[in-house]
Amino acid sequence: MFCSKKKSLEVERIVKANDREHNEKFQYADNCIHTSKYNILTFLPINLFEQFQRVANAYFLFLLILQLIPEISSLTWFTTMVPLVLVITMTAVKDATDDYFRHKSDNQVNNRLSEVLIDSKLQNEKWMNVKVGDIVKLENNQFVAADLLLLSSSEPHGLCYIETAELDGETNLKVRHALSVTSELGADISRLAKFDGTVVCEAPNNKLDKFTGVLSWKDSKHSLNNEKIILRGCILRNTSWCFGMVIFAGPDTKLMQNSGKTKFKRTSIDRLMNTLVLWIFGFLVCMGVILAIGNSIWENQVGDQFRTFLFWNEGEKNSVFSGFLTFWSYIIILNTVVPISLYVSMEVIRLGHSYFINWDRKMYYPEKATPAEARTTTLNEELGQIEYIFSDKTGTLTENIMTFKKCSINGKIYGEADDGMGQKTDMTKKNEPVDFAVNPQADRTCQFSDHRLMESIKLGDSKVYEFLRVLALCHTVMSEENSAGQLIYQVQSPDEGALVTAARNLGFIFKSRTSETITIEELGTLVTYQLLAFLDFNNIRKRMSVIVRNPEGQIKLYSKGADTILFEKLHPSNEDLLTLTTDHLSEFAGEGLRTLAIAYRDLDDKYFKEWHKMLEDANTLIDERDERVAGLYEEIERDLMLLGATAVEDKLQEGVIETVTNLSLANIKIWVLTGDKQETAINIGYACNMLTDDMNDVFIISGNTAVEVREELRKAKENLFEQNRSFSNGHVVFEKQQLELDSVVEETITGDYALIINGHSLTVYDQWFITLFNIVYTSLPVLAMGIFDQDVDDQNSMDYPQLYEPGQLNLLFNKRKFFICMAHGIYTSLALFFIPYGAFYNVAGDDGQHVADYQSFAVTMATSLVIVVSVQIALDTSYWTVINHVFIWGSVATYFSILFTMHSNGIFGIFPNQFPFVGNARHSLAQKCIWLVILLTTVASVMPVVAFRFLKVDLCPALSDQIRRRQKAQKKAKPSRSRRPQTRRSSSRRSGYAFAHQEGYGELITSGKNMRAKNPPPTPGLEKTLYNSTSWIENLCKKTTDTVSSFSLDKTVKL
């Protein structure tokens, strides 16, 4: 099915609800999406256009045209047509297969069902049939079909909860709320069917966090912002149902606007090959010019002597014109120096490697039954040439699951204890976890191992009480009870969830909230606080505060936030406690924990009323509202009294440390993209070993403009100039790139020799051999080596990440290697021609007959060539499989089978004009001298390669050579590997602010719109798992250093 197209230019969008006829006037895009590149009509022209962008393909098409001209064609057209059609066909099949799966994915999405309000009743419609202006019903855990204006929901005041992981990777739930005028529509189908509001809004764009528009309905206008919009790709969570009006559909949705158009991607090897093919073509032209000039000279000086005895056309008597024709004739004859078959070999190998990726059991994730998936088969080798990795932090490096680990209250650390010798130890390693069984509402998944904190609570420590009270009151968490009566928290940020859960387990349980109150249970006693103000978090404030009135009538301001911000707001009397807490925060940061400072302030009733009146006045302003409100927040958040600090563990994903270390050893530069502040980003760097204590300097690059950042980078580069780079080597693309070099060699040594007969050229190899050489005789061994070969096994590849570097540096396939291969090919070609030529010169065979006839000479050269190429591939193969043996030796057997068949009586009887040399192969190969010549030619061609490789491995071995040698030795005796105990890293780095890095929902909480009127659908509680670290990193450092030292390498390994 073809999707409709939208109009080219759109300044603003006007959408009327429940009126398809009106909206169709604007030709808005429907909800059908397509990520595929082709359809049935466009596949052939577009795919051919893409394929003929490859220089080799374009060259062979040009060559085919030349071969259709009888005056210059020295070979029949099928010698070029067959390889070209095979290459084009196989590539087209692969591209069509890739695009078929894109179509399949598109169809799955387009055929999803949604309930759409049509003719005053809900009907199931496919997504692709949803139109702009339709009203759609969504149910819990359902994907959003299009960009919707939220009208109403099952929650009070038209609230709904969405997950935006498909858009921004964030798994935290976000809140959206409808306008009050539309939330009253509820689930009343008749009222929704009569809704005829008109939305005037921005044109389609890719800004996920912004939306501006106006809803006109019932003679009134209502402004719209991003909080009223649910975007395609989101999932409705914890909300039974909601209704929305389609604003943007299909390609106009913000998700699709960000996806971009599918582009035809080329790898760096493809680009290099195109360059090399151009050079080969230039070399071919130069050869053609030289030979054409030689032909003209020969025709002018010698050719006249033969024209009396030969039939010549008048035009051919001109030596210049004869040279011109000869030039094109040689271009055709020498066409096999251009490696067209290499392209199809690469495509097949890429396809094979993509299946290996999909089948790899070590890349299978059993917890979610998810295998690795290669979604394209054109970029596989790029995996072996990666220099930079850009990674998100939340949900990628970390599990986004926070655990309360330690805290500092009134200058005392909880979570550590004295071991009796004056040394602090980690409580989690010394004692059993605190038993929260006495608290029936505790979250049993959360563990805390310091019993002293429980003792302080039992003793009635007022500072501890106030500290826990802040955790239970200062947050945006929503509470609810599931069907089993269990208390469930819905959190905006996992950090908040960890802190509120910690307070809950320690006896200060957040129970519920309204727009005016917060109710907590303090050690079994329900206490309701009056919520007077909520000073919400944002990226500039980096703190959150609540102002409450306790049952005794006291007004308290409770605040938590980044220590670097909150410490500036403290009363001067906190100096001693500030020093202690700062030291504790440094200890927490050294353990990789995220920290928050906790403080409070007692407020005078009169002062608060005056301040609150100014706040109300500021909220009514239109201009500079945010600035005035921020100023009032700053005014009241001062002279705070410090209570302490919290330390939360942001768990790393399993295997992150090992992965990052291996990537660093492989000389891959890693950039982590995070919205955290600087301290947290540095802390995460230490936690996952991107940064280590033995690094001399960590440079902070900051700037507001590109010029400033560039200047900072320049300074950092100057400081780093003298530092040594980490030693690494490469493995992943070794087999792939070596394959390409071997293929180039094979293509080079098949360059045809031409005999000059009466001024015309004739190839040494017969036309069928030229046609079948690359597609039958040598293709399968190359494919087997490219798909199955490996220089070292997978375990050694992981143990020695330095093997990766040659791929990054293109050491295995580059222009220098290409010229070496060209030289090797030229030498082999000379040996293949002149050794048989010299051996057959004036020589009689075993039967006394002359063996120097043209066809016997051709059979000898062709047989030598096939054997030389097969032996060369065998020498290049490091990892033998049954398939390698079958393909290599089977190709040799196939050559002899076809050779004897083409020289048989039977084929001559069927095609007498095509196969006239009856019995020649049998006669030639029956003579001993022929086989001696073939043996001599093979040895002469292969021996220099064998000698060079022996000397290279013995005198100057590469890392892979040394590991291969070590690998063979390990098969006989595997030495045991010792592990060193893990040591704790200490650092002065300060951990950062632990809130979600987006605007909070304080205003929504104080409005009361998010208060539930009834129990929602059951939802799972906060999941918390423990991260068990290992001491493998020190062992890896030792093993790598020892290995490199044993190899006598002049480079150093630096983590």
Q: DSSP letters along 653-698, please?
A: PTTHHHHHHHHHHTT-EEEEE--S-HHHHHHHHHHTTSS-TT-S--
**3-state secondary structure at position 711:** helix
Asked if residue 509 lies in contact with residue 503, where contact means CB atoms within 8 angstroms, the answer is yes
For residue 432, count CB atoms less than 10 angstroms from its CB and return exposed for 0-12, middle for 13-18, buried for 19 or more.
exposed
Q: How far is CA 107 from CA 113, 129, 531, in A?
A: 12, 12, 51
Number of helices (H), then strands (E), in the chain = 36, 30
Tell me whether residue 360 is one of the annotated catalytic residues.
no
Model pLDDT, residue 1019:
38
- 76-82 contacts, C-beta under 8 A, 24 or more apart: 76/767, 78/767, 78/771, 79/767, 79/770, 79/771, 80/332, 80/335, 82/771, 82/775
For 255, residues 6+ apart whose C-beta sits below 8 A from its C-beta are 166, 167, 231, 232, 233
Contact 173, 490 (CB under 8 A): yes
For residue 949, what pLDDT is reported? 86
| CB hemisphere CA count around 458 (13 angstroms) | 6
pLDDT for position 985: 44
DSSP 8-state class, residue 813: S
Place of tokens 């499989």: 881
- 3-state secondary structure labels for all residues of 736-752: HHHHHHHHHHHHHHCCC
The structure's pTM equals: 0.67
Chain Cα centroid distance, residue 26: 38
Q: From CA 1005, how far away is CA 585, in angstroms rounded?
A: 31
**Secondary structure element (H or E) that encloses residue 555, with its range:** strand 555-561
- Which H or E element spans position 283? helix 268-301
3-state secondary structure 150-215: EEEECCHHHEEEEECHHHHCCCCEEEEECCHHHHCCCCCHHHHHHCCCEEEEECCCCCCCCCCEEE
Identity at 690, one-letter amino acid code: M
- Please list, in sequence order, all residues whose beta carbon lies within 8 angstroms of the beta carbon of residue 659, skipping any fewer than 6 positions away: none
Catalytic residue among 19, 196, 392, 793, which? 392
Q: In whole angstroms, what is the distance from residue 588 CA to residue 133 CA?
A: 54
The whole-number pLDDT of residue 746 equals 57
Q: How, if at all, do strands 241-248 and 173-177 pair?
A: unpaired
The CB density around residue 112, as the number of other CB atoms within 10 Å, is 14
DSSP letters of 15-73? EETT-HHHHHTTT---S-----S--TTTHHHHHHHHHTTSHHHHHHHHHHHHHT-TTT-
Residue 516: how many other CB atoms lie within 10 Å: 12
Average pLDDT per 10 consecutive residues for the chain, totaling 1055 residues? 54 92 91 88 91 80 83 74 83 87 90 92 92 94 94 86 81 82 92 93 88 89 88 90 95 86 71 84 89 87 65 63 85 77 80 89 86 81 87 79 90 69 46 62 72 88 94 88 80 85 91 87 92 86 92 94 91 93 86 87 94 87 78 93 91 85 88 69 76 73 78 80 44 37 43 41 73 83 89 85 86 87 90 90 67 81 93 90 92 92 83 77 85 94 90 86 82 55 42 52 64 46 33 39 40 31
CA–CA separation, 60 and 144 (whole Å): 50
DSSP letter (8 states) at residue 981: P
CB atoms within 10 A of CB 553: 8
* pLDDT given for residue 897 in this prediction: 92
Report whether 397 contacts 684 (CB < 8 A).
Answer: yes
End-to-end C-alpha distance for the chain, whole angstroms = 54
Name 378's Cβ contacts closer than 8 Å, sequence gap at least 6: 98, 265, 266, 267, 350
pLDDT the model gives residue 846:
62
Q: What pLDDT, on the 0 to 100 scale, is given for residue 943?
A: 92
